[in-house]
Amino acid sequence: MEFDFNNPFGSITRLLTDLLLGLGLDQPLVAFILAVVGAGILAGATLTTAGVFNIWLERKVGARFQDRLGPNRVGPFGLFQGIADAIKLVLKEDITPLGADKVVFNIAPLLAVMSVVGLWAVVPFAPQLIGADLNVGVLYVVAIGGVGTLSVIMAGWSSNNKYALLGALRTVAMLISFEIPMVLVLLVPTMLAGSMGMVAIVDGQDVWYLLMAPVAALVFFISSLAEVGRTPFDLIEAESEIVAGYNIEYSGMKFGMFMVAEFFHSFTIGALFTVLFLGGWRGPGSETFPLLGLVYFIAKTFFMYFVVMWVRYTFPRVRIDQVMALNWKFLTPLALVIVMTTAVVDKLALEQALPRTPVHLVLNIALILLTILALQAYARALRRKVEGLPEPEAGEVAGAAIGPG
C-alpha cells in the first residue's frame, strides 16, 4: 500500500486496519481497538506535553516576566525539571486526612484530569485529524467543563477541611457563574458557522472569527480564564485567604493530578480559542499539506497559551465580589447583547446579500464603543456616590460599591 502524504493520518489508520484484519480479527473489533489506541495516543501524547513541557514552559516564561531565570539545573535549560518533579510527586507519601471520605477523595483528582483530557476529543488538530467529529462539539466542551466543576466540589467536600470546603464553595460559585457568558458567546461561532461541530466551525472560517466577532472572542477568553482559575481569577488558591483552596489536603501525585489538570486546562483554552476564533489548522498551504495544518494549529495554540501566561503574570488578583460583579454586571449582559445582535445582523446581512465580515466588524466596533460609553457612565455615577461619603480610600469604596453586599 502506498503512503498518501496528502492524508497521512488516514493512511496510518488504513495501514493499521489492514494489519489487524490480516491477523484474523473482526471489523468492529478492529475499529474498537483502533479507537482505543487513538484515544491512548491522544491522551498520552498531549498529557505528556502538558505534564512535562508546559509546566516547564510556564515556569520559565513566568520567571522571565518576574526577571528571574526559572528552572535551569536539570538538563539543558532545565528542560527535565518537569520529569524530576513528577518523580518527586510519585515518591511522596500519599496522605488521606482523618475523617476524609476516601472514595470521593480519590475519585476527585481523576475527574479533574478527565474533564480536561476529555476536551481534546473534539479538537481538530489538522484536516482529518480529530478524535470524534461530534455534531454537537461546542456543547460537548461545555458539558465536560461541568465535570470539572464536579471534581472541585468533590475534592473540597471530601477533604474534611474547612478551608477546602470554603475554597470549593466559592470556586464552584465562580465556575458556574462564568459558564453563563461562556456558553452564550459560544453561540456566536456556532451561528456564524451554522453548526456546533468543531470541524464545521474550522471550515467556516475563511475569515477568522476573531475578525468577525472580536467581542465574543474577548468574552470567551475572559470567561475561560476564569474557568481555569488563573490569575486574575485565582480565587481557587488564594493563599492569603484560604491557604490553598479545595486541594489543600491532597499530597503526592493526587495533588500533582490537580496541578497537571490546571496547567493542561490553560493550554486547552489556547487550543479551543484557536479552533473557535483563530481558524484552527487553517493557514497558507494547509489544504494541500495536512501536516502543515498541524504545525499552524500548534503554533496558534502556543501563542494563545503564551497570552494566558502573559495575563497571569501581569495582572493582580481580584476579590471574589469583584469577580462576581465583573461576571454578572458586565460579561453576562454583554454576552446576551452580542448573541442577539449577531443573530439579527447575520440574518439581515444574508437577506440583503451584504458582505458578511465588514457588517459584523462594524457591529462589533459599535458594540465596543457603546460598552465603553456605558462603563464611563457607570464609573461617573460611582464616583458621584463615593464623593458624598466622608473621606474614603478610593480602592476600598470602589470595591464596596461594586460588591453585592
Partner 1 sequence: MTAMQAIFLLLGLITFLSAVMVVVSPQLIHAGLWLVLTLAGVAGLFVLLEAPFLAVVQVVIYIGAIAILIIFAIMLTRRMLREDGRQYNNLWAGAVTVSLILFAVLTFLVLQEPSLAAGSEPLQAETSVLLQDLGRSMVDVDRFIIPFEVASILLLAALIGAIYVARPMMASEEGDREE
Closest contact distance (angstroms) between CB of 293 and partner 1 is: 24
Closest CA to 122 of 196, 47, 52: 196
Closest contact distance (angstroms) between CB of 114 and partner 1 is: 12
Question: CA 285 → CA 5, 116, 293, 386, distances in Å?
Answer: 14, 31, 8, 57
State how far the Cα of 259 lies from the Cα of 257, in Å rounded to an integer: 5
Query: Within 13 A of 124's CA, how many CA atoms are on the CB side?
Result: 24
397 binds partner 1 (CB under 8 A): no
Residue whose CB is less far from partner 1, 146 or 333: 146
Beta partners for 126? 129
Per-residue x/- marks for partner 1, 172-201, CB under 8 A?
A: xx--x--x---------------x-x----
How many residues sit close enough to partner 1 to count as binding (CB under 8 A)? Answer: 29
Enumerate residues 236-275 that contact partner 1 by CB under 8 A. none
Residue whose CB is less far from partner 1, 67 or 391: 391
Residue whose CB is less far from partner 1, 215 or 272: 272
Closest contact distance (angstroms) between CB of 187 and partner 1 is: 12
Question: CA 238 → CA 171, 244, 377, distances in Å?
Answer: 11, 6, 32
Query: Within 13 A of 57's CA, how many CA atoms are on the CB side?
Result: 18
Q: Which amino acid is at 288?
A: T
Residue whose CB is less far from partner 1, 55 or 154: 154
How far the first Cα of the chain sits from its last, in Å, is 70
Closest CA to 164 of 255, 247, 262: 247
Binder among 50, 55, 165, 226 for partner 1 (CB under 8 A): 165
Using the contact rule CB under 8 A, the part of the chain among 66-74, 129-137, 339-347, 356-364 near partner 1 is 129-137
Counting Cβ atoms within 10 Å, is residue 63 exposed (0-12), middle (13-18) or buried (19+)? middle
Enumerate residues 130-159 that contact partner 1 by CB under 8 A. 134-136, 139-140, 142-147, 149-150, 153-154, 157
28 binds partner 1 (CB under 8 A): yes
Closest contact distance (angstroms) between CB of 389 and partner 1 is: 10
Enumerate residues 101-120 that contact partner 1 by CB under 8 A. 101, 104
Distance of CA 90 to the CA centre of its chain: 26
311 binds partner 1 (CB under 8 A): no
Binder among 5, 32, 77, 310 for partner 1 (CB under 8 A): 32
Long-range contacts of 396-401 (CB under 8 A, 24+ apart): 399/319, 399/321, 399/322
Q: Which residues bind partner 1 (CB under 8 A)?
A: 28, 32, 101, 104, 134-136, 139-140, 142-147, 149-150, 153-154, 157, 165, 169, 172-173, 176, 179, 195, 197, 404
